[in-house]
Amino acid sequence: MSGARRPSQRLRAALLAAPAYTVLAVLFVVPMLLLFVVSFWRVRNFALTPDMSLAAYVRVFDTYGDVLVSTMINGGLTALVCVGLGFLFAYAARFRAGRWGDALILVAIVTLFGGYLVKIYAWKAILSTDGFLNAILIASGLSAEPLDTLLYNRGAVIVALVHFLLPFAILPIYGQLRNVNDIQIEAAHDLGASGHQTLMRVIVPQCRTGLFAAFAISFLYAAGDYITPRFLGGGSGSMIGQFIAREFSTRFNWPAGAAMSFVLMAASLLVLGLVGALFVRRRPS
Amino acid sequence: MHRNHAKPRHGLDRRSFIATGTAAAAMLTLPRSAMGATQLSWIGWQGYDAPLKAGDFLKKNDIDLSTTYISSNEEIITKLQAGGAGQLDLISIYFGHIPILANAGLVEPIDEARVPGIEKIFPEFLDVDTIRKDGKLYAVPFTWGTLSMVYDPAAIAKPASWKDCLKDEYKGKVSITDDITGLISTWAPIVTGTKTPTRLTPAELKQTIDFLIKIKREHARTLSPNYGEATDLYARGEVVISAIGWDAQVAFAAEKDKELAFVRPQEGVMVFMDTLAIPSGAPNRDAAYKALAQAISAAGQTVMASDLTQAVVSSDAVPLVDEVNREVYQYGDFESLFQSARFNPFWPLQDDGEHASYDQIQEEYQRFLRA
């Protein structure tokens, strides 16, 4: 009897899931496939020509190899800082703030309001030679004249990205920390574990998934960004997203832009795979 | 019986709510034209729409102007190639890109009879071969100007040469903007000695790009993504002189209460001409022609001169612009002006075996951007 009902149940489940799969296919899978096909085409005088060429992929490594590496470094550093600061903030909210913990998280979310470009221009105002930070440095006597090294470099890009992405890193870590059982922490203390040992052997192992999620969200967003490096990056802060946007919008070189996008995606997945192996696959001892 | 239960307190029952909602949704989804005004889709540089917004042109012609601003001319080509043709009514683009658009069938020939005032455009601009194909005009000259050296008169004395920006005292205080044609056209003659900077051999191109990389790395504060950002650098006191500039920056800076000035250095500057063209299949062609006529009218041209410090293309507008504008752009003596301000042809679109093609120029320019 139950065996006879299984096919109809499966059909019902499939029908229920169909709209979601359809949306995923139409909005994500099909465009990605089309873009993948285009990455093998050629372009001449602003016109696309169907082909089966690997030239666009070869060009990614020949022309943009250094920018790709720089992008991975910027994305990785941004994600590491986000995970570190995010963990500290989430830990304080979960274990130190008492009943104000949720309010702290709310404050973190509120910082998302105000928009992305506003944050970029805010950092421009803070880090420029006549900016807020230079004013403090001069007023406090730490610098005799304005420093022009605060802006238009890799550091400025990472600072602005961390400012924007930190709330996205805090949320998954905090979600995991909420699931850590207080009794286990007390038991660790009762058994003589130091604060550091409790943190590293009881708390952190239980929020590895949250840490990885925080890293992945921050890394993927940072590695794909092209606005922040354009406005704050200068020469050393350039990232591959800027050149992907340029290939698509300015040169109409869709094969190059598509190939660069897929290489960036593959490189990002590689980094996430390595980090995932470190964060997630190791079980708590 | 409680009346409040029979009828919602807000006085709108479910059926009325749905009917009202449907009507509102239908209103929102109707084409603007069905609601009265003709929607004119325009794309170009920010500020270039000013002549259309001036006075009562839009109201008088019942036009609802929809504007899209660009950060590079090539964005327009990409937009038209990617399905924008048939949706856009009027584009404002650098004259050099017209052959690309005309050859690809992305713009349509201009019906000159529908553009009153076209006969008043200076022949030096209207008769340029680049905007014509098979005897037909594909774009109407709209404005022109020079890519001059912009400097902060409160900080430095008036420069005389482009090489002044390479002086040690200005290291880190030089403005340089992401402008492929402007940068290469300005610096190629200085670096290679060429008379026509848009006809470079691959070796000359490499030499020019190498030099630009040197300026970017050793002298510039940063590479600004556009002239607006570059103007911000002057306003914040971060730069005082430029390796490439645009006359209109003086007007941009004035809006920020910053006084800037521009000068044509002894090596000469590049003259640019921006045009107006109608994309193939423009849905509101009549409105596009009206806008085109307005943009080149004496009134429209005067707005460009006063708002953006740009030069006018119509002889009718010359008496209306201020004395400074007339003096700077020497409307009565283009021959003399063009000796120091070069009106270059566009890059070769195809590889001719001798000169770098536009594609090669763009590829090499990427090297400058990555540096």
For residue A163, give the CATH number of its domain. 1.10.3720.10
Note whether B362 and B251 are same-domain residues: yes
Strands B261-263 and B149-151: antiparallel
In a domain, A147, yes or no: yes
The predicted complex's ipTM stands at 0.81
> CB-based contact (8 Å) between A45 and chain B?
yes
In a domain, A284, yes or no: no
Note whether B215 and B310 are same-domain residues: no
* CA gap B190, B198 in Å, rounded: 13
What domain count does chain A have?
A: 1
Q: Which of B124, B51, B83 is nearest to B335 (CA)?
A: B124
> CB-based contact (8 Å) between A251 and chain B?
yes
In a domain, A3, yes or no: no
* CA gap A149, A156 in Å, rounded: 9
In a domain, A195, yes or no: yes
In a domain, A11, yes or no: no
> CB-based contact (8 Å) between B336 and chain A?
no
In a domain, B3, yes or no: no
> What pLDDT, in 10s, does the model give residues A61-73?
999 999 999 999 9
- The pLDDT tens digits along chain A (285 residues) read 444 567 788 899 999 999 999 999 999 999 999 999 999 999 876 778 999 999 999 999 999 999 999 999 999 999 999 999 999 999 999 999 888 999 999 999 998 887 888 999 999 999 998 899 999 999 999 999 999 899 999 999 999 999 999 999 999 999 999 999 999 999 999 999 999 999 999 999 999 999 999 999 999 999 999 999 999 988 778 899 999 998 988 888 999 999 999 999 999 999 999 999 887 765 554
Note whether B41 and B139 are same-domain residues: yes
Note whether B295 and B168 are same-domain residues: no
Give the contacts of B340 (CB within 8 A, at least 6 positions apart). Answer: B264, B266, B268, B269
In a domain, B340, yes or no: no
**Range(s) of the domain holding residue A102:** 39-279
Q: Are B174 and B220 in contact (CB under 8 A)?
A: yes
- The pLDDT tens digits along chain B (371 residues) read 333 333 333 444 555 545 555 555 555 455 444 456 899 999 999 899 999 999 999 999 999 999 999 888 888 988 898 887 889 999 999 999 999 899 989 999 999 999 999 999 999 999 999 999 999 999 999 999 999 999 999 999 999 999 999 999 999 999 999 999 999 999 999 999 999 999 999 999 999 999 999 999 999 999 998 899 999 999 999 999 999 999 889 988 998 999 999 999 999 999 999 999 999 999 999 999 999 999 999 999 999 999 888 999 999 999 999 998 998 898 988 988 888 898 898 899 888 899 999 889 999 999 999 88
Note whether B177 and B306 are same-domain residues: no
> CB-based contact (8 Å) between B362 and chain A?
yes
Q: Which amino acid is at B224?
A: S
> What pLDDT, in 10s, does the model give residues A103-129?
999 999 998 887 888 999 999 999 998
Among chain B residues, the shortest Cα distance to A63 is held by B367
In a domain, A8, yes or no: no
Query: What HEC string does chain A produce?
Result: CHHHHHHHHHHHHHHHHHHHHHHHHHHHHHHHHHHHHHCCCEEECCEEECCCCCHHHHHHHHHHHHHHHHHHHHHHHHHHHHHHHHHHHHHHHHHHCHHHHHHHHHHHHHCCCCCHHHHHHHHHHHHCCCCHHHHHHHHCCCCCCCCCCCCCCHHHHHHHHHHHHHHHHHHHHHHHHHCCCHHHHHHHHHCCCCHHHHHHHHHHHHCHHHHHHHHHHHHHHHHHCCHHHHHHHCCCCCCHHHHHHHHHHCCCCHHHHHHHHHHHHHHHHHHHHHHHHHHCCCCCC
**Range(s) of the domain holding residue B280:** 36-144+272-332
What domain count does chain B have?
A: 2
Note whether B159 and B205 are same-domain residues: yes
Is the entire prediction scored with pTM above 0.90?
no
> What are the chain B neighbours of A251 within 8 Å (beta carbons)?
74, 362
Note whether B242 and B94 are same-domain residues: no
Note whether B114 and B74 are same-domain residues: yes
In a domain, B4, yes or no: no
Identity of the residue in A67, A128, A234 whose CB atom sits nearest the CB atom of B236: A128
Q: Which amino acid is at B114?
A: R
In a domain, B6, yes or no: no
